Amino acid sequence: MGFVEKVRLLDYWKVQDSALQSEFPRSRLVLMVDRRLLVTKDAPEVRMVEHSYGDLKQLLGEYGLQFDLSNSCLLDALEAETDMIPLFGTSIEAADPPEDSPISKKEVLRQLGNSLGGSFTDIRMAMLTMKEERQRNLLAKFQSLTKWAATYRRCPKCAAALKMRTSKSGAECVTCQRVYYPTFSPVSITLITDPTNEHALLVRHRGSAGGVFTAVAGFAHTGESMTECARREIAEEVGIEVDSIRSLDMSQPWPMPDSSLMIAHVAVANMDQKISVCPDELETAQWFSRHQVSQALETTLSDPFLKNLPRTLDDRQTLHYIPPAGAIAHQMIRQWVDGKINCHNSRM
């Protein structure tokens, strides 16, 4: 089946509840338990573990857990022997063991992960360390649809109940028939370079991992373009003006804390401007040479799970890492280090 046929099948499944419900027993599924994702264990690459409907039902049943369409969302269509079958994400909650239980919930989930052929991990770390873009995008969709479906229960217009689609791609008011769709927020993320393209301005967010520096990012406001958003966020967060901005034709869905779409830009600013960070957002912002950023890139590639983060306060404010490979900021910074982002091609 070609791409057009696949897209049209997904569109049909999204709105035809009965058709998708009949496909559920044939589907494959990826799993979250207590908002932790089941991923491959001790594998070269972090990937979501897939199971058939029958296998997952049996394996979860052995732990007294169950799933159904109410806590599942449609993610994709997969090639089968003669046709296509749905890929669902299912998210369940595990009950806490009794207080006098000799085994902790953490241990139960460890054992459950082993029996399912993987281990459970934090969603953010999974997004940051998955190398395959499709895996990251499916996870972003999984988390975003799950959270949206749990939030949209009542019609914002008339307060009547909403009837959620089986796919979780929309919800219709039972009274006024208004249909609501999953929402996301556009975010500009901008790599700032100097006019020589030999230095980059990177920032460290408040509460972020020590020694990790990244690009400036922020949500778009109503009535502004993404270029205007990038220019405003730079002024707000680091207190400087940029001479030019251009889009990098790169984007990434990001599901935390809520669903957003990160849209990449590069901007050029003079280094002689005084940096004035927004204390509510950032701890520090500094210019770094290409060599310094290259060293941080190499450290990140050799320690992708950030296991050796600095502990002392001074070290926390020093560039040691950039975001791991799953983040769009990593791709932007890496391309700049490799000379693939040239500020001289920038335009207003």
pLDDT digits (tens, 9 = 90+) for 248-281: 999 999 999 889 999 999 999 999 999 999 999 9
Place of tokens 């791609």: 169
Please give the pLDDT value at position 210.
86
- Here the tokens at position 136 are 């990251």
| pLDDT score of 81 | 85
Place of tokens 């990790």: 212
Per-residue pLDDT of 14-46, as tens digits, reads: 999 999 999 999 999 999 999 999 999 877 789
Whether residue 347 has pLDDT greater than 60: no
- What is the C-alpha separation between 255 and 145, in angstroms, rounded? 9
Q: Find, among 132, 105, 104, 169, the residue nearest to 39 by Cα.
A: 132
Contact 154, 147 (CB under 8 A): no
Nearest to 240 by CA among 293, 290, 279, 201: 201
Q: What angle do CA 189, 190, 195 make, to 5 degrees?
A: 175
User: Average per-residue pLDDT in the chain?
Assistant: 93
Name the strand (E) or helix (H) holding 217: strand 216-219
Q: What is the mean pLDDT of residues 290-295?
A: 97
Domains and CATH numbers, the chain: 3-149 (3.90.79), 185-345 (3.90.79.10)
- What confidence tier does 346 reach under pLDDT thresholds 50, 70, 90? very low
The pLDDT of residue 85 is: 97
Q: Is the pLDDT of residue 339 over 80?
A: yes
**What pLDDT does 348 receive?**
35
Q: What are phi and psi of 112, to 5 degrees?
A: -60, -45
Q: How do residues 160-190 score in pLDDT, each as one tens digit?
A: 999 999 999 999 999 999 999 999 999 999 9
Query: pLDDT band at residue 236, thresholds of 50, 70 and 90?
Result: very high
Reduced to 3 states (helix: H, G, I; strand: E, B; else coil), residue 78 is strand
pLDDT at 235 over 50: yes
Provide the pairing of β-strand 260-268 with 185-193: parallel
Tokens linked to 145 = 């649809």
Q: What's the pLDDT score for residue 313?
A: 67
Q: pLDDT grade, residue 343 (50/70/90)?
A: low
pLDDT above 90 as % of the chain? 84
Q: What is the distance between the terminal CA atoms of the chain, rounded to a whole angstrom?
A: 43
d(CA 107, CA 336): 43
Bridge partner list, 219: 187
